Amino acid sequence: MALNSNKHLWKKWRLGFGFRPILSFLIVILISCTNESISAEAGTVESQNTEENSEMYEHLTTGNYISDIINHPAFKGFGELLLTRDNNSGYYNTKLQNVSSLMPYHGYVNPGDVVDALNRMIDDADSGKTIFYSFYTDQQKQFEPDKNYTGLFYLRGNPEAPFAIVCPGGGFSYVGSLHEGFPIAKKISESGLNAFVIRYRLGSGQKATEDLAAAISYIFRNAESLGVDTKYYSVWGGSAGARMAGDIALSGVAAYGGENLPKPASVVIAYTGQSSYSSDFSPAFITVSANDWIANINVVERRVKNLRNVGVDVEYRRYESAGHGFGLGTGSDAEGWVDCAVKFWQQYIGE
């Protein structure tokens, strides 16, 4: 009886320990499979996240809509200010290939130039660069709500290089930054110089120039964090924006509510009928087309003559068929004028 009992115990012990390696092996396989499943799932999630991140900063094409600019994550919080008006809802369903319909005073609007400039800013945002700055405080905006429709877009050149502020036109009824701001700023930045595009208040040339003076003052105060040199700054403008530039070149920043700052080292004035001048006007690059239906070429050329007569350095570029508001001039006889204007400015940039 005792012998049988011992045999029974031995059998139980042998079976128990005999199956333990098998059981352990099965557990290892189960854990391994589970881990592989978890890893695969994690890889899928990571892949999805990567795809989502790449989609976040997807480039625009001329087949996109105006609403795609507003809703693009790179422009979150300020997308409307990239556009022409304070309320752009009527254009949301317009394709970028028809972007010229937003800017009736402008000619030679090239959708490819518009998209290239927007994509440059998307790339900058994607790399962590801040592309939009508000030059008015929250308190100032609360006191004057229309200041909510202002700001500066920054397209960087080389660190510590001088800066330009580009003032797009639009007859003070809209701001043509898409055609006459961002593409020009992109071109300037590609030369190694820094470029801002101002979004100013509509409806009044006085208010718009006050915004420009406030923006210049803001850049001077924050030059170190922005990474710009202030000594040789330039102001650029087209049409209504050229009037703003001309006002600063004539009267200075403080005259429009800004700080007591030097006048621009140079000013670039494109297709405007403004005629003001003085002996201490900033050195000026001036351009217009003979067939401009808004800025009379005779008025422009008279101003060039008057500036030169009082000793102001002026480079004048006359074109024949580019019309009004030609922006970069792509496809017109004015194509390449921005490079000439940059070279003029560079003459006034010291060591």
The DSSP annotation for 4-16 comes to: HHHHHHHHHHHHH
Per-residue tokens: 218 = 């803001």
Cross-strand pairs, 286: 269, 316
CA 241 to chain CA centroid, nearest Å: 17
pLDDT at position 45, please? 36
Mode of pairing for the β-strands spanning 266-270 and 284-289: parallel
β-sheet bridge partners, residue 243:
none
> DSSP code of 278?
-
- Longest Cα–Cα distance of the chain, Å, equals 133
pLDDT of amino acid 222:
98
Per-residue pLDDT of the chain (351 residues; tens, 9 = 90+): 443 444 443 344 343 444 444 334 443 343 444 444 434 433 433 334 334 444 558 999 999 999 999 999 999 999 999 999 999 999 999 999 999 999 999 999 999 999 999 999 999 999 999 999 999 999 999 999 999 999 999 999 999 999 999 999 999 999 999 999 999 999 999 999 999 999 999 999 999 999 999 999 999 999 999 999 999 999 999 999 999 999 999 999 999 999 999 999 999 999 999 999 999 999 999 999 999 999 999 999 999 999 999 999 999 999 999 999 999 999 999 999 999 999 999 999 985
- What's the rounded Cα separation, in Å, for the pair 248 and 165? 12
Strand partners, 123: none
Output the pLDDT for position 98.
Answer: 98
CA 6 – CA 74 distance, rounded (Å): 80
User: In this structure, how many other beta carbons lie within 10 angstroms of the beta carbon of residue 125?
Assistant: 19
